[in-house]
Structure 1
């Protein structure tokens, strides 16, 4: 990441935020103390972030700052990218699926079916799944559920959002690093829409049930793939 890009972005957004008593200001925007109060952090910590002496804020801090600065969805994504660009770790490669698993998936055509990682990355799927899932270029069910297109695609979005957040929470609690990283990402990009559901998740997500995708009412069943990785196959059948 360019030197202190995160700090410059936070300061620029602070100075562009209209203060409550703007007619009595010599300088534009919020003072550090005002932003710190809004975000529930100390002035000293905000100063370290803006100066670049602290470059590892938690997801909770970033979410609070995003809310305090009234960031748009695009600005939240940019904020996350600034953090991600400063990380040097390489994400793990997706697991290779056994040929037998891929043959099983092919045999399920024309039904909608997919193989999911613990973090709900779509590792492989049928053409039937691709035709109705609505994901487009997105490859993760949880990230899509909290994207701008999800509300239009899922008539029962509240149910879907709760279940997807619970699924991610379960994977993260079991130590899946990809799930934890995605939870951190969504805490910034989706904010409380995601975090309230993620924090409140107190039960495992359903392994069977119904979901509506656009005009399709689907019954789904979950099968776990033996071996390492805790992969699962989810099969969707149209309910008439």
Structure 2
């Protein structure tokens, strides 16, 4: 159980919950509050636990909560399915993931899938957001991953180095989603020091990442609209789509454009070498 992480997650989710969305705490006609979020006593009442116990949870001083208490807190804070799972991991109700899973069979099948995608730029990432496989279209759009050292083949490290080629400065959702994915990974693999080192590095070099990490958001966003500034192809408006590969810790990331759009034509030029 990670008491500090659990306390931070509960506090962030409480502060993010709008009182007007919880009628029991904000009946019609009540004047707006000066501070956002619910009060601790309101969450305790909604969850059916004592105020002192909930306060100790947010102060990282309480013992491990039971599954029943976690379920009550999830309802009180209106957590999504992903947030409920994350809460259970932080509370020690779900054991850590395997330290070294054998990815070789999955990678072999995934590489064949990547190759069949043809002109669609695509790559495979692990839970650290390291790129472990890619297709030629992704090389044409982003960079030749094969020329990079393994440690440099990380989505967020590349976004900082390449700038608008992977992430537009106006597109903060990409950074927020990356922080959310690393939050989930850190809870699933608490003994993986490489994740902590990566988070510290990113938070040092990107204020937006640091803010997103502190928000403790873990909700997945399967599709993002991205606006890229490509040095050769110009301005691109693409959909960044993520699919979880069943039975593995890997995700397939694809870049697509609206059919018939200038961005679609630019993608076609990038893959045919023109």
Aligned to 1:201: 216
The runs of 4+ residues in structure 1 deviating greater than 6 Å are 91-94
After TM superposition, the score normalised by the length of structure 1 is: 0.52
Q: How does 1:120-199 map to 2 (within 5 A)?
A: 120-134=129-143, 137=148, 138-145=152-159, 147-151=160-164, 154-155=167-168, 156-175=170-189, 177=192, 178-188=194-204, 190=205, 192-199=207-214
Flag structure 1 segments of 5+ consecutive residues without an equivalent: 1-90
Asked if 1:219 is matched to 2:239, the reply is yes
C-alpha displacement of 1:170: 2.1
Contact 2:114 2:122 (C-alpha < 8 Å) held by counterparts: yes
Flag structure 2 segments of 5+ consecutive residues without an equivalent: 1-98, 230-234, 262-274
C-alpha displacement of 1:165: 1.8
After TM superposition, the score normalised by the length of structure 2 is: 0.46
Contact 1:208 1:222 (C-alpha < 8 Å) held by counterparts: yes
For these two proteins, the number of residue pairs brought into alignment is 147
C-alpha displacement of 1:204: 1.7
Cα gap change, 1:153 to 1:209, in 2 (>3 Å): closer
Instruction: Find the aligned partners of 1:94 and 1:133 in 2 and give their Cα distance.
Output: 28
Asked if 1:105 is matched to 2:124, the reply is no
Deviations 1:167-190 (A, max 9, x none): 2222212226243331133234x1
Contact 1:169 1:201 (C-alpha < 8 Å) held by counterparts: yes
